[in-house]
Amino acid sequence: LSHPSFALAIALLLPMQPARADEGAQLAATCTGCHGTNGITVGDALPSLAGQPKAALLASLKAFKSGERSATVMTQIAKGYSDEQIERIAAFFAAQKSQPKAGTTGASGAIRDPAAAGASAVPPGAGS
Amino acid sequence: MNRRQFLLHAAAGAIVAAPSTGSGQGASGAAKVLVVGAGYGGATAAKYIRLWSDGKVEVTVVEPAARFVSCPLSNLVLGGSRKIDDLTLDYRGLERHGVRVVQDRVEAVDPGKRRAQLAGGAALTYDRLVLSPGVDFVWDRLPGMQKPGARDRILHAWKAGAQTTALRAQLEAMPDGGLYVMTIPPAPYRCPPGPYERACQVAHYFSRSKPKSKVLLLDSNPDVVSKGPLFKKVWQERYGGIVEYRPGFLTVDVDAGARAAISELGDQVKGDVLNVIPPQRAADIAVRAELADANDRWCSVDFLTFESTQSPNIHVIGDAIQTAPLMPKSAHMANQHAKVCAAAIVELLAGRAPNPRPMLTNTCYSFVSDKDVIHVASVHAYDDAKKTLLAVSGSGGLSSAANELEGVYANSWARNIWADSLG
């Protein structure tokens, strides 16, 4: 039972072998509460991260981290990540498609837009 | 356990679970995850397990409510600048990811048989269970709230929905010159800045529509629990003469008929509207499953996987957990717990070790008027030596002052986290 190949054999017998979320995907997922699944951002208050050039994303993140670029939240968040982690996050968002596939992402019709629904509380610029 | 034993253990688990796929839940052979609760935590976990397993893991969510109502932004309903419909979403987005959404309530869990019993009579088996049940209230700490009719008259509005609109109606019906009294429970409770944001929203409404009316906060805690200096500045500068803050008022009972909060010292404070936010703990299902080990209230978890320390194959996320240091019970945090948990479950079901370096962020916005907002943000990383998630030194922080730009970002946050969790 202790032979390594036995464990391997059992693993190969598993009825499924799911894909995995690599570390870049998992790190990027810490951003997507504000920036949308896979960096496809809803609304126009923030730019979409998906498909932006890696160099541009990296430059922004590093400038937030150093404080060279000012922000309300991102200067505080960027300081929580190592340069290596920032590199992986930038690479992940750069590799995403900039437009959502119909019906498969958070930008789909399931999410009602309060601005479009006529709510008066959304400040100018927050709606789409 | 070394890695080889771990693999064997994981593989054996999958094989033992295999016969249960004959129960008619879906295609045979696929690993099955059952998620209890489709709030910010449960919905996100369900969606991301589907995404990160490439649709290979079957995911079923059991949720009593037909629709999702967001707690974040619900204080704006009390302030009058939002309607509850603006914060109400359906679960079709989850279904588009292949998640099976069952409207029912889980009554009991049998960890040995890996089976959950639903109120509607069905039983569902699982390979791994994710509990994201939120909080329930510790009513026995407030004997007067157990009397007939008390909970219809004295509202909490701490779970968004009918309670929120009913409290708004009480505020609208209150004559000008009236007193709104809110009791705040001892921390930890869901949404640390929430009571203080609510005070701002009610004061905002009064300042516009009922300028002779007052807001009185009776806080069980010794000081404002979150964003203290920022809230106090707003109360002084914007709502001077409207908001009064009384710390160290531990509410131990309520006289619902008189609309009075009663302190441990016997002080009685009456309001024209009394809003009691009760003491909280992990929701009933987590307590019944014997997972709430921390002070009999909260569920301890392994922060690499969010697996319960009390029962294998059961993961707990969201407000129900015993939090790591400086980790708030927030919607954003629940969304982040869910992703660490989802990634770990996909790995564990495949017989692989979970990511040893999980990270989380948190951003909580509070509206101090209909437009102006303050935030608190933090970043948390797993610490190998302490085996917990710790706030990363030098990161995180607060707004310098309330401002309209963050109001724009707060609305953007809501739309994006709704999309990320449910879309």
Chain A, nearest residue to B331 by Cα = A33
Nearest to A21 among B18, B343, B371 (CB): B343
- Choose between B4 and B89: higher pLDDT: B89
The 3-class secondary structure across chain A, one letter per residue, is CCCHHHHHHHHHHCCCCCCCCCHHHHHHCCCHHHHCHHHCCCCCCCCCCCCCCHHHHHHHHHHHHHCCCCCCCHHHHHCCCCHHHHHHHHHHHHCCCCCCCCCCCCCCCCCCCCCCCCCCCCCCCCCC
- CB burial of residue B232 (10 Å; 0-12, 13-18, 19+): middle
**Which residues in chain B have their CB less than 8 angstroms from residue A111's CB?**
89, 93, 415, 418-419, 422-423
CB B286 within 8 A of CB B299: yes
* Structure ipTM: 0.90
Tens of pLDDT, residues B8-36: 344 333 333 333 333 334 455 899 999 99
**How are the residues of chain B apportioned to helix, strand and coil, as percentages rounded to the nearest 5?**
35, 25, 40
Q: Structure tokens of A104? A: 């498969």
Give me the torsion for CA of B161, B163, B164, B167, rounded to 10°. 160
Nearest to B371 among A11, A105, A123 (CB): A123
Nearest to B379 among A26, A72, A80 (CB): A80
CB B110 within 8 A of CB B330: no
Chain B, nearest residue to A103 by Cα = B96
pLDDT, residue A100, reads 57
Whether A46 has its CB under 8 Å from any CB of chain B: the answer is: yes
Of the listed ranges A102-106, B178-182, B268-272, the least confidently predicted one is: A102-106
DSSP B160: S
- Please give the Cα distance from B333 to B335 (Å, whole number): 5
CB-CB under 8 Å, B417 with A33: yes
- Please give the Cα distance from B79 to B200 (Å, whole number): 8
Interface of B with A in 354-413 (CB under 8 A): 355, 357-361, 363, 370-371, 375, 377-381, 392, 394-397, 399, 403-409, 411-413
Provide the percentage of residues in chain B whose pLDDT is more than 70: 93
Interface of B with A in 287-306 (CB under 8 A): none
Tens of pLDDT, residues B110-157: 999 999 999 999 999 999 999 999 999 999 999 999 999 999 999 999
pTM of the model: 0.88
Give me the torsion for CA of B257, B263, B266, B267, rounded to 10°. -80
> Mean per-residue pLDDT for A28-46?
97
Query: First CA to last CA across chain B, in angstroms?
Result: 39
Strand partners, B182: B217, B275
Q: Residue A21: pLDDT band by 50, 70, 90 thresholds?
A: confident
CB atoms closer than 10 angstroms to residue B90:
15
**Which residues in chain A have their CB less than 8 angstroms from residue B56's CB?**
16-19
